[in-house]
Amino acid sequence: MAKCCACEDLRPLPSEGEGYEGYVDGIGFTNNAARDDGYCSICNTKNYVRWERMQADLERKRVEDKNLERIERERKQAAERDRQNNRDKDEGTVQYSNGDVYVGSLRDGNPHGRGRMDYSDDDENDNALYYDGEWVNGKHEGKGKKMWWNNMWDNIWYEGEWRGGMMHGDGTHHLDDADVRKGRFEEDVFCDE
């Protein structure tokens, strides 16, 4: 025979004016909880609303997790389709599922050789507007120019040598009319000479 919460509660009765330990959001643990605060919704009907809310939250979280998994799966499938559709092209236009558009030379569906990538408005590309230059296996490599968009001004660019997708070699980084760095860069860092 199953026992109820009240039967299972072996805590001693509190002294006069004291309560049981309970957690209050924003405050922490206090000693003003009622004995039946932690009981199930059958043994304490006041807890039924709390239990319903908790079940609804758990269901909402489960649905959100399932949706996120579906979105991630669809994103990967779209990227794979993009890659497969453009694998055998030597030159052409590739429109990616995230909104990026590449026009130029390709190898195995990746930018390779000379080309231009116009980036979409998402934050994934570090507010880049476009890159026009040389590519190796999908990364900036060789000589090229990259332009960025900024809320305060839109004249931020780097023109020069690239390696592995980073500013590397001789180039000019124009941040604004007062801050222009010209010289040697190593892995996106300007080297004062």
Distance CA 93, CA 87 (A): 12
More confident residue, 2 or 140: 140
What's the predicted TM-score (pTM) here? 0.51
**pLDDT for 115-150, tens place per residue?**
998 888 765 667 778 899 999 888 898 999 988 876
CATH no., domain 88-191: 2.20.110
CA distances from 4 to 7, 50, 52, 155 (A): 5, 18, 19, 71
**pLDDT for 15-51, tens place per residue?**
777 788 877 778 888 887 777 777 777 777 777 787 7
* pLDDT of amino acid 122: 64
| Boundaries of every domain in the chain | 18-81, 88-191
**pLDDT for 43-101, tens place per residue?**
777 777 877 888 899 999 999 999 999 999 998 898 887 766 655 557 788 888 888 88
CA distances from 101 to 97, 106, 129 (A): 9, 13, 11
* pLDDT of amino acid 88: 52
Nearest to 170 by CA among 179, 161, 159, 162: 161
- The yes-or-no verdict on residue 166 having pLDDT over 80 is yes
